Each structure stands twice: as structure tokens, then as C-alpha cells.
């Protein structure tokens, strides 16, 4: 609660100068101290606890599945064994009338049962409305009445230094509140999700807080808590937490309600960062933006008139930092949306318009191998700088602290071989990871090749 103490100290600085007595004396003895309690009294009922159960098949020795082996050793046919896996998380009531609850995709991923518990003691079985692994957002529904929903804030108006409060269910302890400030905005390139635009906060976020609320001092939802940065697997919160902005949550939720999934747009370009060397070669005054290295024929970029060598500096007046922010910006657009592109061509500023199309890529949210759990795999998408350059399977997102994350896999990695067998597509990849045997993966990360052993 350090940040809250700093805030209170700021409000009462003059009183501290005038008086050296106890705090109640500063307000005449009968006046209430400044507190977040009134705001939280309205906000806490909108944050729920989520418990899930899933049944995981226990992998038997492959020889026991061989009928000739069983017959030779007179081993009767065995029924598949299962174990029950339980997990805890949090959620936020999004629509009180319809019983809609927001949470993280990784909280309810592969769950057979989802139980939502309210602060008034009621519990309900929830059904999945839709989810988007690439942004780690899921929408579930409960058959409940007399619910309270959190109003949505405009997260684009957040500023670094704004006070925020995290509400959730850390470690299954029950509803807990922590406070802090907005530490940074627009965090991306972390490899946590496929599309990233995180709010960073120092309000304590721990396992179980996932899917919970990040609210401002008016009690409005500014983000969904989703991950923390930790220097080691066994190290807890270090004051670096990440939340999905409410505007992005609303955008994804609208698509989940309409389609049950997110129909992701693409521009149809390959691009790379503007390095200082490229900035010098292109006579640019800044190294911000993304250089177009390839245009896909018939794509939105092609029809808009983009050319190889163009430097995209902004989309709808949003200034780009690098190629990653361009990919994120395009992937979070609505299919069919028309956008304005600010570009530099041969040193001259130019403006183009493009109508983004839908990209359809085969994906699988998890492979059967236990060490790959928590990762989403798919064919290399056309907007990737690796498209047409190398063959393999792209990792679109990795849930923080999942087995795949702890094994060293990160978002945007490309797996080019499994146990020394080269792969080109998702269909090549899936048969090679069907058991729990050790895996030797050849990975391309940031254009550098490396081997990773998963035991």
C-alpha cells in the first residue's frame, strides 16, 4: 500500500506542517480520513472469483496401446486414465443484465467446468461465450440476477502517474485490493501475447489476480489484469504488472459477442524496424516507424499503393515506434476498417488510405505435449517478417508462467524442426508432439537460430 500512503501524504502535506499530532487531529477529530473505501464499496461486487476444473488424460506407455504387446504379455486392455486439474482466477462483470463476465483466456482455457463466485456468496456455473488467445481475453456468461457491473473508462486518456487499484483473488485467498500507479503505457514486445498493448502498473498483481479489475479512483474499469514480470520462476511480485486496456477489451468483446471469435485484420505487408543505419540510408530524421520490405499481391497494402521501401510512420495519427507496433496496430483493427497511413517515400511525406482485410490462419491453442501447454501455435502469417523467408510454425502467444513459458518459449518464436525433423506447416508439427517424450526444438528468434531442449 506504499502508493496509497504517498497519495494520502500529498493530500495532507499542509496539515502535517501545521500540526504534529495524530492524523485525526488534522481533520478536527470527527472528520473521516481520506479513503478508497467508498469507491471500493461500489466496485468490489463487480469483481468475481473464478474456479475451473479440467480433466487431463494421463499419458500411458505407448507399448500398452499396442494390441500385439498386450496379447504377448497377457495385459488386459486398459481404460484411459485421467487426473483433475484445478485453477483459480478472477473476473469482472461486464454486462449485469446479460450476466456477462470478462476474464483472461488462460484462466478458463480447456476448462470442463467454470464456477463463478460472487461477493454476496452466490455461485454459478458459467458457459463460454468466446475467447481470443492472441489478446488473452475471454467472455463467459452466468445465469444470475441483481448483478453489478463496472463502468468502462476510456483507457486512451490514462497517463503515467495516474492512481489505479487492482482487485482480484491472489493465491485463492479471496478478494483482495492493492493500489499503485500507472507505471507505463503501450508496453509491447514482451512475448506474453500475440498482440500486446499493456498498461504497466506497480499495484501488486499475483497468481489468481489474472482476469481481475484494474480501476481508476472513480471506480471505472481501465484494464484487465493479466500478467506480471518476474526475474525467476519462484520469485513473486516485484512491482511490474500488466493489464489489458479497457478500450482493447471493449473492441475484442464486441467481436466475441457478434462472432464468437475475433476476426483479425491484416494489411498484407512484411516490414522491419527502422535502424539507425536504415534511417541514414533513407535520409530519415528519425529511426521510428517500419520499413516495408514486401507487398503481398492483391492485399490491402497493394491496393492502397504502398511500395517496397516506404516507411510507415503513423496509422490514423498514432505514431509508430517500430515494426512490432505496426503489426499490433493492424491486428487489433476491425476487418473492413479504412485507415489512414502516414508514410515517407524517398524522403517525402505522403498519405494513403487502406481498407484492411481478414486473415485466416490455422491455429492450435495447445499441443498435447505437456511442456508446450500454454502456447498458441499456427502457420506463419503473411504480415510476419518471416513469411516466405523460412519454413516452420509460429508461436503466436505464450501464457506467462505456463509450462511453455517456463521451458523458454516466447511469442513470435518460429519452430523450424522438432527432434531434427524439419517442419513447414502446423500439420507437420502436430504429429511430432503427440507424447511426453523429450523434445529438441530448433527455434528462430529475432532472426537468430537456437536449440531448445524440453524434458
Catalytic residues: 106, 136, 210
d(CA 309, CA 298): 18
Q: Are strands 113-117 and 123-125 parallel, antiparallel or unpaired?
A: antiparallel
Residue (of 265, 242, 260, 250) closest to 328 by Cα position: 265
Write out the E strands in 17-146: 47-57, 82-95, 100-103, 113-117, 123-125, 127-132, 137-141
d(CA 357, CA 4): 46
DSSP state of 264: B
Long-range contact set of residues 109-113: C-beta below 8 Å, sequence gap at least 24: 109/133, 109/365, 109/366, 109/399, 110/54, 110/365, 110/366, 111/52, 111/53, 111/54, 111/87, 112/52, 112/53, 112/54, 112/55, 113/52, 113/53, 113/54
Residue (of 171, 170, 175, 100) closest to 138 by Cα position: 100
Q: What are phi and psi of 326, to 5 degrees?
A: -65, -45
Amino acid at each position: 500500500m506504499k502508493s496509497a500512503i504517498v497519495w494520502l501524504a500529498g493530500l495532507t502535506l499542509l496539515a502535517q506542517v501545521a500540526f504534529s499530532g495524530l492524523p485525526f487531529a488534522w481533520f478536527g477529530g470527527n472528520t473521516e480520513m481520506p479513503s478508497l473505501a467508498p469507491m471500493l464499496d461500489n466496485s468490489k461486487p463487480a469483481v468475481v472469483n473464478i474456479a475451473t476444473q479440467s480433466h487431463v488424460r494421463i499419458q500411458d506407455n505407448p507399448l500398452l496401446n499396442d494390441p500385439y504387446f498386450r496379447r504377448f504379455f497377457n495385459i488386459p486392455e486398459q481404460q484411459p486414465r485421467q487426473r483433475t486439474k484445478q485453477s483459480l482466477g478472477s473476473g469482472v462483470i461486464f454486462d449485469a443484465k446479460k450476466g456477462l463476465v470478462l476474464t483472461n483466456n488462460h484462466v478458463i482455457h480447456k476448462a470442463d467446468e467454470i464456477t463463478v463466485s460472487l461477493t454476496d456468496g452466490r455461485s454459478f456455473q458459467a458457459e463460454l461465450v468466446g475467447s481470443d488467445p492472441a489478446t488473452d481475453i475471454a467472455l463467459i456468461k452466468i445465469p444470475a440476477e441483481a448483478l453489478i457491473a463496472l463502468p468502462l473508462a476510456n483507457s486512451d486518456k490514462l497517463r503515467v502517474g495516474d492512481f489505479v487499484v487492482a482487485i482480484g483473488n491472489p493465491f485463492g485467498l479471496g478478494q483482495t485490493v492493492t493500489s499503485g500507479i500507472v507505471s507505463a503505457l503501450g508496453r509491447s514486445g514482451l512475448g506474453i501475447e500475440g498482440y500486446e498493448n499493456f498498461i504497466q502498473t506497480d499495484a501488486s498483481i499475483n497468481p489468481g489476480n489474472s482476469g481481475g479489475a484494474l480501476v481508476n479512483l472513480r471506480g471505472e474499469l481501465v484494464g484487465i489484469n493479466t500478467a506480471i514480470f518476474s526475474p525467476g520462476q519462484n520469485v513473486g511480485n516485484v512491482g511490474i504488472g500488466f493489464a489489458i486496456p479497457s478500450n482493447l477489451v471493449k473492441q475484442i468483446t464486441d467481436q466475441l459477442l457478434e462472432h464468437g471469435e475475433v476476426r483479425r485484420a491484416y494489411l498484407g505487408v512484411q516490414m522491419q524496424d527502422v535502424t539507425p543505419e536504415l534511417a541514414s540510408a533513407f535520409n530519415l530524421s528519425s529511426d521510428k516507424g517500419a520499413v516495408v520490405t514486401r507487398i503481398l499481391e492483391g492485399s490491402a497494402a497493394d491496393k492502397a499503393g504502398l511500395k517496397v521501401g516506404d516507411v510507415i510512420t503513423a496509422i490514423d495519427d498514432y505514431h509508430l515506434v517500430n515494426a512490432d507496433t505496426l503489426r499490433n496496430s493492424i491486428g487489433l483493427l476491425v476487418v473492413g476498417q479504412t485507415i489512414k497511413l502516414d508514410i515517407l517515400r524517398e524522403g517525402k511525406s505522403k498519405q494513403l488510405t487502406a481498407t484492411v482485410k481478414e486473415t485466416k490462419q490455422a491455429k492450435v491453442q495447445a499441443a498435447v505435449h505437456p511442456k508446450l501447454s500454454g502456447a498458441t501455435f499456427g502457420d506463419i502469417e503473411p504480415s510476419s517478417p518471416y513469411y516466405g523467408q523460412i519454413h516452420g510454425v509460429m508461436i503466436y502467444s505464450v501464457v506467462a508462467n505456463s509450462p511453455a513459458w517456463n521451458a523458454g518459449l516466447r511469442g513470435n518464436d518460429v519452430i523450424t524442426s522438432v527432434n531434427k525433423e524439419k517442419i513447414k506447416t502446423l500439420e507437420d508439427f502436430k504429429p511430432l508432439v503427440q507424447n511426453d517424450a523429450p523434445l529438441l526444438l530448433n527455434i528462430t528468434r529475432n532472426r537468430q537460430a537456437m536449440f531448445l531442449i524440453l524434458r
